[in-house]
Chain A
Amino acid sequence: MHRRNFGRLLAAAAFAFASATAMVSTPVLAQEEKTIVGGFDVGPGGFPGNFNPLTATAGFTWLNTYFEPLVIYTSDLSKLDSALASGFTASEDNLSYTFKLVDTKWHDGKPFTSADVKFTLELAKNADSGSIFAARLADIASIETPDEHTAVVKLSKPNSAFLSVLSQVMMLPEHALSTIDIKEVAKSQWWSTKPVGTGPFKFVKYVSDQYVEMAAYDGYRGGKPKVNRLINRYFANAAAAVSALSAGEIQFTFAEPDDAKTFKGNDNFRIIEGDSYVVNYIGFNHKAGIWSDLRVRQAVMHAIDRNAIISSLFGGAAKLANCGYVAPRLVPNGLDDYAYDPEKAKELLEEAGWDDINGDKAIPWLTYYNTPQVANVMAAIQAMLAQVGVNVVPRALDVPSYNGIVRSEKFEEFPLVYAGLQNGPNPASLNIGLNAAQIPPAGNNIMRVEMPQLTEALNTAMAETDPSKADAKWQQVCKEMNAQLPWSPMWVASRYGVVSSKLKDFFWTPAPAGGPFVSHPEKWDIAP
């Protein structure tokens, strides 16, 4: 064989390799079966790999395909609706809630009864089970079960957030979990191998780090699901999920705003835009010693052209916030809109003596958002603040690092943050981040806000259990926030999902923590 034969050999090898590659084709799922594959745990509302609803800080969109709570938010997140409770009533003193239960069965055929409700709530309020709801359900004094279809929950004191918290407490089967020692419940393999719920789909299998497969539950009280299988595929990040969506491998995923834009005008996909229910803010660390003067905080507000940022960097897909809320029912008239006015900002800073307070010293500005959009937003704000003499330096961190720093006492490391806090559907969500009683280690008021009038307004609103009076109380909270600026409220941005046009009657909204919300997975369908 001559030298040229090496070339032939190589060409032959390349041909064989290419042929082998070409012969490998992507298999398709059986035609007769309808299967929806989605990235249901992608994005901030997802919690891939967590199967235990008692330890879930997110992921309720998916959990709700097989588990169900007693009450659930409506699809527009405007109010609580019935789920496993066909109806519920509260006593006049708001210390007793009576839940009438639906007549349904667990996926294994056993009946769902009030004993399951009692078991679940007792498990959820016991920290030994690993439940993250324990403190939030601490007001439960007792759970009575007068009959199989009635559960009465008695509280030790009125709690305006009780029903809202309950919407994330998925009911669990006593017959399957009561045999497990309470301290072993969180570690139990039951959650990821044979969980039993009452939802429209039943668990089939979890292929670690790849996907979770569900099968239609024929006995679902809302009717047999239209698709045979539902698959939740896991992705390392939202971009990978978008690639899979573009390649036709999945039919739904959460998408970052820039990725969602790429589907605009494409008839094969539908973009879902929804309120994030997260108010973004520039958080002043009140222990850092440079933000104590209200005029400085007002100057920050006036220095930032929020409308321009919303228009150019959010493409208009964000609502301007002048307090913690943007929902019209929670926002009173007469708020200061802190219009963009850099000259006024300079005057305010001068009056406050900013040169002596900090001057042009660099102020670290932390965030846990790692998206290009937020990087651009922070760069724009950095430039605007620099124009008035406030020198901030953005620094993006991963979530654990961010949490580790802001929950510490090293205030010089986080004088300023760009963050977000859930502001709905229950407006009480903001209390934990603003009430003086919630300053760490007691709570989650990481910016160490200590404003007596604001705290009083929050306490008053929190104690109001009458829905007809509550909005006015939350408006007062809004007013105090607007006047005192514990943070610089910025906006409530939209979040996105992208759905293949093959999906019919599919509903999803970017609810905080993934909901849960009424989505009727049993009605989801897919065109061939």
Chain B
Amino acid sequence: MLQYILRRTVVGLLMLLALTVLIFTLLRLTPGDPIDAYINPSVPMSAADLVALRTRLGLDQPLPVQYFAWLGAALTGDFGYSIQRGGEPVLPLVLGRIGPTILLMFSGLAISVVVGIAAGILAAVRRNQFADLSLSTAAFVGISSPAFLTALLGLYVFAVVLRWVPAGGMLTPGAPFSVGDLLAHLILPAALLSIGHGALIMRYMRSSLLEVLSQDYVRTARAKGVREFWVIVKHAVRNALLPVITVIGSTIGIAIGGAIFIESVFDWPGMGLLMINAVVRRDYPVIMCATLLTGACVILVNLLTDIAYAAVDPRIKVA
């Protein structure tokens, strides 16, 4: 197992290096650079001012020089300065966004896991009954609804019309910190983020449990007189969870993508909002650092999922 983890870690590091090259190259292939993002096309700015700005930011250097300069500094923990934020150091800026994103992502994931598994179990044990049909319909709607639609609709209904929750942000500006305030801002984006994943988990849980419920050992357990609750919980659900865990792990990447979108709709100050702003403004140092950290997170979570998978099912051996 240790050898497996080490090998996966080395591969992960190489993937990260490849990712930096890829992102760096792709960024430079896109039209426009930070200076172009700086120029408001409607506002006249002299070329001399722009040339000076380009030189100050080091953008006049050849691309390989820029890349290796960045890589060399990054290896020492210096990810440079944000171009569009008056020279704010990038690493603290990006690290400061990880917390809000994790909070949002895992709140959404927690809701989707709890609701998805519970709904999946209910749908399976009430197969073809009203509960199953209505939950399955809801799941299909959840899976098919584009995130932008649910997010904007949710924002409009719950924040603008009903005013149950704030329309965006993570905390009320200027108000002292309180958990209630944080939760008030968190509940809607997290709930909306959970819709797609919850529906997916529900579908997987339902089909997996249905398959398990028809197994001989479940029938044997029932024949032995074990109460139905324990048959389901101890015998069926535990085994049915195996493919669901894989789904949960593999959707972490999707959850990050979803969080990015939700963050931009709800002005949630996480990695997603930071990255969107950075891309729009061609803030290369921020994009590089944020992509690197996001990539590292995805690789790490995938590794942990594989380990968890092996731990849950001892039959799985790692080479």
Question: Which of A347-355, A440-448, A480-488 binds B?
Answer: A440-448
Which residues on A are within 8 Å of B, measured CB to CB? 1-3, 5-7, 9-10, 13, 20-21, 23-29, 35, 37, 44, 49-52, 55, 57-58, 127-128, 130-136, 138, 183, 186-189, 191-192, 207-211, 213, 229, 231, 233-236, 240, 243-244, 246-249, 278, 368, 397-405, 407-408, 419-422, 429-433, 438, 440-444, 512-513
In the complex, chain B residues whose CB is within 8 Å of the CB of A400 = 30-34, 36-37, 280-282
Contact of B273 among A209, A211, A404, A433 (CB under 8 A): A209
Contact of B44 among A368, A408, A421 (CB under 8 A): A421
Assuming A127-B52, A400-B33, is B160 touching A429 (CB within 8 A)?
no
Interface contact B173-A37, CB-CB below 8 Å: yes
Assuming A3-B125, A187-B86, A231-B173, is B31 touching A404 (CB within 8 A)?
yes
Interface residues of B in 9-66 (CB under 8 A from A): 30-53, 56
**Sample of 19 A–B contacts (CB below 8 Å):** A6-B122, A6-B125, A24-B183, A27-B178, A130-B53, A132-B49, A132-B50, A188-B87, A207-B269, A236-B264, A236-B277, A243-B168, A244-B167, A247-B159, A249-B167, A400-B34, A403-B35, A422-B42, A444-B45
Is B255 positioned at the interface, with any CB of A under 8 Å from its CB? no
Interface residues of B in 187-242 (CB under 8 A from A): 187, 227-229, 232
Interface contact B32-A404, CB-CB below 8 Å: yes
Which residue of A135, A235, A248, A405 has the most chain B CB atoms within 10 A of its CB atom? A135
The size class of the interface chain B forms with chain A is 35 or more
In the complex, chain B residues whose CB is within 8 Å of the CB of A7 = 122, 126, 131
**Ordered nearest first, which 8 A-B pairs have the shortest CB separation?**
A400-B32, A187-B87, A404-B32, A403-B36, A1-B229, A404-B31, A127-B52, A135-B48
Is B109 positioned at the interface, with any CB of A under 8 Å from its CB? no
Nearest CB to that of B191 among chain A residues? A21
Interface contact B160-A210, CB-CB below 8 Å: no
In the complex, chain B residues whose CB is within 8 Å of the CB of A9 = 118
Interface contact A240-B265, CB-CB below 8 Å: yes
Assuming A135-B49, A186-B56, A187-B87, is B41 touching A420 (CB within 8 A)?
yes
- Alpha-carbon distance between A408 and B33 when the two chains are bound, in angstroms: 12
Interface contact B173-A210, CB-CB below 8 Å: yes
Is B84 positioned at the interface, with any CB of A under 8 Å from its CB? yes
Interface contact A133-B281, CB-CB below 8 Å: no
In the complex, chain A residues whose CB is within 8 Å of the CB of B87 = 186-188
Assuming A7-B122, A244-B167, is B42 touching A134 (CB within 8 A)?
no
Which residue of A208, A231, A235 has the most chain B CB atoms within 10 A of its CB atom? A208
In whole Å, how far is A128's beta carbon from the nearest beta carbon of chain B? 8
In whole Å, how far is A201's beta carbon from the nearest beta carbon of chain B? 13
Interface contact B122-A421, CB-CB below 8 Å: no
Interface contact A442-B47, CB-CB below 8 Å: yes
Interface contact B265-A50, CB-CB below 8 Å: no
Assuming A132-B45, A134-B48, A247-B167, is B38 touching A57 (CB within 8 A)?
yes
In the complex, chain A residues whose CB is within 8 Å of the CB of B77 = none
In whole Å, how far is A211's beta carbon from the nearest beta carbon of chain B? 4
Nearest CB to that of A443 among chain B residues? B47
Contact of B175 among A1, A13, A27, A512 (CB under 8 A): A27
In the complex, chain A residues whose CB is within 8 Å of the CB of B38 = 57
In whole Å, how far is A176's beta carbon from the nearest beta carbon of chain B? 15
Interface contact A421-B86, CB-CB below 8 Å: no
In whole Å, how far is A513's beta carbon from the nearest beta carbon of chain B? 5
Interface contact B229-A247, CB-CB below 8 Å: no
In the complex, chain B residues whose CB is within 8 Å of the CB of A20 = 183
Nearest CB to that of B114 among chain A residues? A13
In whole Å, how far is A77's beta carbon from the nearest beta carbon of chain B? 15
Nearest CB to that of A50 among chain B residues? B86
Interface contact B47-A24, CB-CB below 8 Å: no
**Hey, what's the 0/1 contact readout for B272-303 against A, CB within 8 Å counting as 1?**
01101100111000000000000000000000
